[in-house]
Amino acid sequence: MSRKYFGTDGVRGRVGEHPLTVEFALRLAGAAARVLAPNGGSAFIGKDTRLSGYMFEAALEAGFVAAGVDVNLSGPLPTPGVAYMTQRFGCDFGVVISASHNPYEDNGIKFFDRSGGKLSDELEAQIERYLEEPAVTLHSERLGRATRVDRSRVLYQEFCASTLPDGVSLKGMKIVIDAANGAAYKVAPRVLAELGADIVPIGCSPNGRNINDGCGSTDPALLQLTVPGVRAQVGIALDGDGDRLVMVDHLGRVVDGDQLLYVIARGLKAKGNFNGPVVGTLMSNLGLEHALAKLGISFHRAAVGDRYVIAKMREVGAILGGETSGHILCLDRTTTGDGLVSGLQVLAMLKVLDATLAEVVAEMPRYPQVLVNVRVEHKVDVRANPSITAAVAAAEGRLAGRGRVVLRPSGTEPLIRVMVEGDNEAQVRAEADGLAEVVREASRTAGH
């Protein structure tokens, strides 16, 4: 379903440029209220630490109140915390003001439904239909009310702590926590400390402009230095809105989302009769699939994007899924990706296995993956173009079951992403470069 403003994760862009303006936020609030709470109701609004968050919070608050919706304002709270509190407070919908792992100059607005799940494409399309109309202001007796709910952070902290399995304690663990100077800067250190860990916080001093700046899951270099430097067992890096993570082992090596999925699955298997399925994406490393197969755990792939992972998980009845980027979904614990909760599950599984993160991760091979972004001059259908499909078939034949080829168009840029993976890095690179050239030529030919 075609949408003009909503992307895969809400409305996002550069602050001050359409659509990330105060005027648009007011209209968006009015339009969302008409679709999600047409007879009045309540909303929960949380944000990350960007300077512009205060501006958009005020605009959305005004738009919702004017449309007769009561508003609960939490201030900085991780995206999954907003999903949880929307449910906890019985609100009709939740709103997050964040651009996740983007720099502070960007921001975004995304919505949750009353169950804490992301809106369907159909609901987002309905909201867009009302965006061309001015924001509604009802008569005084029908206006909503805005309330600050400071206890929401503590309630969310208690929820996160409760997801650590019974009988597991973090006492004796030294953990470096990097909150990306973002939404989890208070919550994450406090939860880990309350569970008994000895914590070393970094990236927990936001100033409105330093979110994701040289810290967090997208830039874990400081964490890699700090963990072995302070002799910690493990490091946890969240992104700006707290819904994804990467980890660092005691040697300072980064552990990505594929490896974290393996650690959780391996621990669950050791605890009982967990046979999956586990859901990854088209980009998940083939080593994860093979390592899970050795454990007798089935693996399914979804399109890239957490909403597609969740859809596939529901389709196949999975409780565990995620992306290489560190967006892990533990649906037996939460309704959406939660970096802190996922990190707690990894720590718990290390306790169950009585092993270090490095030891468990070593059980999963990581095959070389080469990704080439091909800028295309003219649109080309990679699934129907004869020269491309023939080249892909030939490459897959040469890989002989020891690798994969994935071609997919970018959703936001004129790019075709060519990914080749296999057990021989030199061959993988050669196949990727060859396929990229075939795609370029097909695009040039399409223009004639």
- Alpha carbon separation from 6 to 64, 126, 132, 411 (Å, rounded): 19, 11, 14, 12
In single-letter form, the type of residue at position 50 comes to R
Q: Nearest-CA neighbor of 83 among 162, 192, 159?
A: 159
- Cα-to-chain-centroid distance, residue 426: 32
Distance separating alpha carbons of residues 392 and 8, to the nearest angstrom: 28
**Which tokens hold the place of 327?**
């967006």
Distance separating alpha carbons of residues 405 and 420, to the nearest angstrom: 5
Beta-ladder partners of 8: 10
Beta-ladder partners of 107: 13
Active site residue 115: no
- Any long-range contacts for 200-205 (C-beta under 8 Å, 24+ apart)? 200/174, 200/175, 200/176, 200/226, 200/230, 200/232, 201/176, 201/177, 202/176, 202/177, 202/178, 202/226, 203/178, 203/179, 203/237, 204/177, 204/178, 204/179, 205/181
**Which tokens hold the place of 267?**
């621990």
Half-sphere exposure of 39 (CA within 13 A, CB side): 0
- Answer left, alpha or beta for residue 214, where phi above 0 means left and psi between -120 and 50 means alpha: left
What is the chain's alpha carbon radius of gyration, rounded to the nearest angstrom? Answer: 23
Q: Nearest-CA neighbor of 275 among 315, 341, 320, 326?
A: 320
Candidates 52, 98, 100, 284; catalytic one: 100
Distance separating alpha carbons of residues 244 and 323, to the nearest angstrom: 9
**Contact call for residues 213 and 181 (beta carbons, < 8 A):** yes
Distance separating alpha carbons of residues 233 and 230, to the nearest angstrom: 9
Q: In this structure, is the dihedral angle defined by the CA atoms of residues 183, 185, 188 and 191, taken in order, positive or negative?
A: negative
Active site residues: 100
